Structure 1
Amino acid sequence: MKYFVKISDDSRILLEDLNPDAEKTILFIHGWPLNHNIYEYQLNFFPDKGFRCVAVDLRGFGESDRPYSGYDYDSMAADIKKVIDVLKLDKVTLVGHSMGGALCIRYLSKYNNYKVSKLCLISPAAPSWVQMQDWPYGYTKEQVDGFINQSINDRPKLLNDISGLFFFQYTSPPMLNWFNNISLTASSWATSQCLNTLKTETLFNDIPKIKVPTLILHGVHDTVCPYEFAEYINKNIIESKLIPLQNSGHAGFIEEKEIVNNEILKFIEE
């Protein structure tokens, strides 16, 4: 079922809540510039395995309200906490892709791993999406400024270009159209402001604060969030496991969905 939860500034965010009577809960956090529908192949899998699946449309994306502000990591991490508190979730497996993975890291760091028993990161945009001193991976700030400028002036073309970068294997035109349509539901201001957040925020200090078992699934051909991101996270979370996805780019949960789903299932049930 779908329903809304009020967050800190009285905006409403949409939740898709499947199999709500199940004992164990997985909470899915999507990445930029997507919404919860991108987890279609997980939401068709895990409820049949006996899990409650709660998938969020972050503020400004999908069917959630579209406030003009609040697109920094702290504000969106607070939104995640509000969902957990309102739904009275406990011992949650938190799953985040790309920017959603970065938000999960900030949430666990800021709230001391509150109510989360396990973390799964799929191609996370962390520790830094942009290059900086002693961090030669990811985009340059100038490249991200170009994305922001294109978002303001020709957002459909930007999203079309980004869609192609997400996939390593051949992807059918209808799949790319579906992906683009999901991206276009986001507000223009959320799209550009989240790009600025990805450009300016880092998680080097947050990652060591994660104290729950962590599974990292990352496409070795990822050009949006290079594989070195996953290697860094794996080295800096004490109880973590890294599984390389050999035939995936940034959308491994689509390109190698069977492997991703089964590895998450094994991880939760360990």
Structure 2
Amino acid sequence: MTTIKTKDGTNIFFKDWGPKDGQPIVFSHGWPLTADAWDAQMVFFAGKGFRTIAHDRRSHGRSDQVWDNNTMDQYADDLAELIEQLNLNDVILVGHSTGGGEVTRYIGRHGTARVAKVALIGAVPPLMLKTEANPGGLPIDVFDGIRKGTFDNRAQFFKDLTIPFYGYNRDGAVVSEAVRDDFVRQGLMGGLKGELDSIRAFSESDFNDDLKKFDKPTLVLHGDDDQIVPIDASAHSTVKIVKHAVLKVYEGADHGLTVTHQDRFNADLLDFING
């Protein structure tokens, strides 16, 4: 397997497809998935001449399952080490859901010297948790429920989660049992401890200060029927902070729109990159 070793000794698995001299696109996946979630995008963009890279977050997929350091700061540092060890420049960062938080924290901690553009897809920033300062967020009970479901019966919880994740509970939705099974497959590749830690990382991390450091062209793309990361407390808030961010809303679209709206999403991301 292709891996890098981070400063704390963790092996991070990654895929590196397409021409090595192409402009790099680095994809960061959502919870509890893996780099495999980006396969269709990687093939599409590699076919357009881009170098496409996606990694398994620590404690997810084929990366090492670690007991400690499953935090948003460490995720961002791992992303930085991947970019630096591969000596990538003029990078297009694309993050979905938790991956959007990872990308945002990367910019907050490491800046944009190696970055050309940023795309946040159904992303968790600025803050998912409901607080006095963030009344539009989700109450802690929601995330406690995710923790309990993951701990009690991870396989069943992941299978059930696919229904709202892909909007399969909406009228007219075409349900793919294969997509549901693949979500569970990817989720079960990760370590339970790391996935539990990651719930806190994606729900309680405050990205407001990180977003203020964005100084590159930024696409914020979200479905307005996202049942996992509601649009009002995420995308609509992010574009108020990031100067010159472009907001693209998919009417009626779900959280897993990179799958359910795959061709449209690929085309829109390509337009943003080329624009």
Q: TM-score, normalised by structure 1?
A: 0.96
**In the alignment, is residue 196 of structure 1 matched against residue 186 of structure 2?**
no
User: Once the 2 structures are TM-superposed, how far is the Cα of residue 74 of structure 1 from its aligned partner?
Assistant: 0.8
**Is 1:99–1:125's contact at 8 Å kept on the other side of the alignment?**
yes
User: Once the 2 structures are TM-superposed, how far is the Cα of residue 23 of structure 1 from its aligned partner?
Assistant: 2.4
Which stretch shifts more, 92-101 or 105-114? 105-114
Within 5 Å, give how 1:118-267 maps onto structure 2: 118-168=117-167, 169-228=173-232, 229-267=234-272
**Is 2:131–2:137's contact at 8 Å kept on the other side of the alignment?**
no
What CA deviation, in whole Å up to 9, does each residue of 1:212-241 have, x standing for no partner?
Answer: 100111011001111111111111111210
What CA deviation, in whole Å up to 9, does each residue of 1:19-49 have, x standing for no partner?
Answer: 1423201000101100000112202211110
What CA deviation, in whole Å up to 9, does each residue of 1:125-164 have, x standing for no partner?
Answer: 1111111114233421122112112222221222122221
Give 2:179's aligned amino acid: M
Which stretch shifts more, 218-227 or 243-252? 243-252
Aligned-partner SS, 1:224: coil
What CA deviation, in whole Å up to 9, does each residue of 1:36-76 have, x standing for no partner?
Answer: 00112202211110100001111011111111111111111
User: Which residue of structure 1 aligns with residue 170 of structure 2?
Assistant: none
Which stretch shifts more, 80-89 or 63-72? 63-72
Structure 2 portions without partners, runs of 5+: 168-172
Aligned-partner SS, 1:268: helix
User: Which residue of structure 2 aligns with residue 24 of structure 1?
Assistant: 23
Give 2:61's aligned amino acid: G
Q: TM-score, normalised by structure 2?
A: 0.94
Q: Give, in whole Å, the separation in 1 of the partners of 2:183 and 2:124.
A: 19
Q: Give, in whole Å, the separation in 1 of the partners of 2:126 and 2:70.
A: 18
Aligned-partner SS, 2:248: strand
Q: Number of residue pairs matched? A: 269
Within 5 Å, give how 1:37-56 maps onto structure 2: 37-56=36-55
Give 1:64's aligned amino acid: S
Q: Percent identical across equivalent pairs?
A: 28
Q: Give, in whole Å, the separation in 1 of the partners of 2:138 and 2:120.
A: 20
Aligned-partner SS, 1:130: coil
CA RMSD of aligned residues (A): 1.3
**Is 1:99–1:198's contact at 8 Å kept on the other side of the alignment?**
yes
What CA deviation, in whole Å up to 9, does each residue of 1:235-268 have, x standing for no partner?
Answer: 1111210111124210111111111111111111
User: Which residue of structure 2 aligns with residue 94 of structure 1?
Assistant: 93
**Is 1:137–1:226's contact at 8 Å kept on the other side of the alignment?**
no
User: Which residue of structure 2 aligns with residue 74 of structure 1?
Assistant: 73
Q: Give, in whole Å, the separation in 1 of the partners of 2:122 and 2:215.
A: 19
Aligned-partner SS, 2:131: coil
Aligned-partner SS, 1:113: coil
**In the alignment, is residue 103 of structure 1 matched against residue 98 of structure 2?**
no
Which stretch shifts more, 225-234 or 91-100? 225-234
